[in-house]
């Protein structure tokens, strides 16, 4: 059957599958650095792309390619490029669109390392990034200059869970000949498909929900443009060297099989936690697009099929209150990352988002006391009991 005839849950298990010579149910792991040729003519045909074959795992490997094809099917793209980490994917994609003297226009609220790369590393190569509130489309259009080559965003954002209109933003970008890159890590293709909404490239930290087990570091970029994918793979991933290992690709394929089931449970647990926090007197602010009072709620309902498993909130008091809450948790683990079976908590300003200037955090949509919870797969009653006990300790 063609991919277009299959539902998401089926594609996550079967997309692009090939029959193994030994008829193994699971795809083999091709743990090899290099592949052989029968003669120089075959080698020449392969290097000149007259023959489709494998040369060296940095440029292609059957296990990695299967993961790339499956991710492309789930994101409604034609193909994808796998990377050794989410940051390798993000930086490679951005560098593929800009050069010295160009500008990137990014949303104000980004993953900390993405902000660090664009704010501190890219300027060394003459690439400037300006940050705006992309929830305000008029502000976006006013901020575009002849130097702007890329609009970059996450939605929902990390850690403030802001929602950005991908379709409208893509229309604006097309009017100016600008590329749109969306980090879809929080939503996953199960809840949101940016390419169908007009984005040019989708990136993921596959370390998170795509893996789902906390045992892989990986990234992936997907597009509807096959020529671009070829250029990204051989002009950037290969040359910069951010290649994914075949074993990690195999682990990601395993993770994809349960993605839809896991995302449903992550969202159910997030909603249970939000309902509890909403009625607690110590809670000052909750950031979750599933709440009707969230400013992006209606847009999230329009462009997403679910609200995700991340909950951010702030308690009354200051950062010391946030620290006390985290310190009192027993079941929920203090850790960076997200999307694992285990529920994780962090204080972004003190951990993943330290690159943001402390005195300007409010301009980027969060504060020193913002707490972010990545809901796992545990029973929701146990998670709420842990949160309740921690809040009592704060009181």
Among residues 131, 152, 179, 183, the one annotated as catalytic is 183
Task: Decide the pairing of beta strands 103-107 and 128-132.
Answer: parallel
List, edge to edge, every strand of the sheet that includes 371-374: 283-287, 310-315, 371-374, 344-346, 333-334
**Contact between 70 and 11 (Cβ < 8 Å):** yes
Among residues 30, 70, 79, 111, the one annotated as catalytic is 111
- In the block, residue with structure tokens 């993770």: 255
Q: Active site includes 111?
A: yes
Among residues 203, 336, 185, 182, which one has the least CA distance to residue 266? Answer: 185
Rounded to the nearest 10 degrees, how much is the dihedral formed by the CA atoms of 158, 235, 72, 109? Answer: 10
Among residues 179, 193, 208, 369, the one annotated as catalytic is 208
Helix axes 319-328, 380-394, angle to 10 degrees: 130
Q: Active site includes 58?
A: yes
Q: 10 Å Cβ neighbour count for 146?
A: 8
Partners of 201 in the β-ladder:
181, 223
What gap in Å lies between CA 225 and CA 200, rounded to an integer? 8
Q: Active site includes 360?
A: no
What gap in Å lies between CA 81 and CA 302, rounded to an integer? 28
Partners of 183 in the β-ladder:
154, 203
Q: Which residues are catalytic?
A: 58, 111, 183, 208
């Amino acid at each position: 059957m063609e991919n277009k005839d299959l539902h998401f849950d089926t594609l996550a298990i079967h997309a692009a599958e090939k029959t193994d010579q030994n008829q193994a149910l699971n795809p083999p792991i091709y743990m090899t650095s290099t592949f052989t040729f029968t003669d120089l003519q075959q080698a020449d045909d392969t290097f000149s792309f007259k023959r489709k074959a494998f040369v060296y795992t940095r440029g292609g490997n059957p296990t990695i390619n299967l993961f790339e094809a499956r991710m492309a099917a789930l994101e409604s793209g034609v193909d994808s490029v796998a990377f050794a980490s989410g940051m390798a994917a993000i930086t490679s994609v951005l560098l593929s669109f800009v050069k010295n003297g160009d500008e990137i226009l990014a949303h104000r609220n980004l993953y900390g390392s993405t902000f660090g790369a664009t704010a501190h590393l890219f300027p060394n190569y003459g690439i400037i990034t300006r940050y705006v509130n992309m929830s305000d489309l008029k502000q976006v259009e006013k901020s575009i200059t002849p130097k702007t080559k890329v609009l970059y965003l996450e939605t929902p954002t990390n850690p403030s869970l802001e929602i950005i209109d991908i379709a409208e933003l893509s229309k604006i970008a097309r009017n100016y000949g600008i590329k749109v890159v969306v980090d879809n890590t929080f939503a996953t293709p199960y809840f949101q498909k940016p390419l169908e909404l007009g984005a040019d490239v989708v990136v993921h930290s596959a370390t998170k929900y795509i893996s789902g087990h906390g045992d892989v570091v990986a990234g992936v970029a997907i597009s509807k443009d096959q020529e671009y994918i070829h250029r990204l793979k051989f002009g950037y991933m290969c040359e910069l060297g951010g290649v994914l290992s075949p074993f990690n690709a195999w682990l990601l394929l395993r993770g994809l099989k349960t993605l839809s089931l896991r995302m449903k449970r992550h969202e159910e647990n997030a909603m249970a936690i939000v309902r509890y926090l909403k009625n607690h007197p110590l809670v000052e602010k909750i950031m979750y697009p599933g709440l009707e009072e969230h400013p992006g709620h209606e847009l999230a309902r329009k462009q997403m099929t679910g609200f995700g498993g991340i909950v951010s909130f702030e308690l009354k008091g200051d950062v010391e209150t946030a620290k006390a809450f985290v310190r009192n948790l027993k079941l929920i683990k203090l850790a960076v990352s997200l999307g694992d079976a285990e529920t994780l908590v962090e204080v972004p300003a003190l951990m993943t988002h330290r690159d943001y200037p402390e005195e300007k955090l409010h301009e980027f949509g969060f504060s020193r006391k913002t707490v972010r919870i990545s809901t796992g797969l545990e029973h929701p009653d146990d998670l709420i009991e842990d949160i309740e006990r921690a809040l009592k300790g704060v009181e």
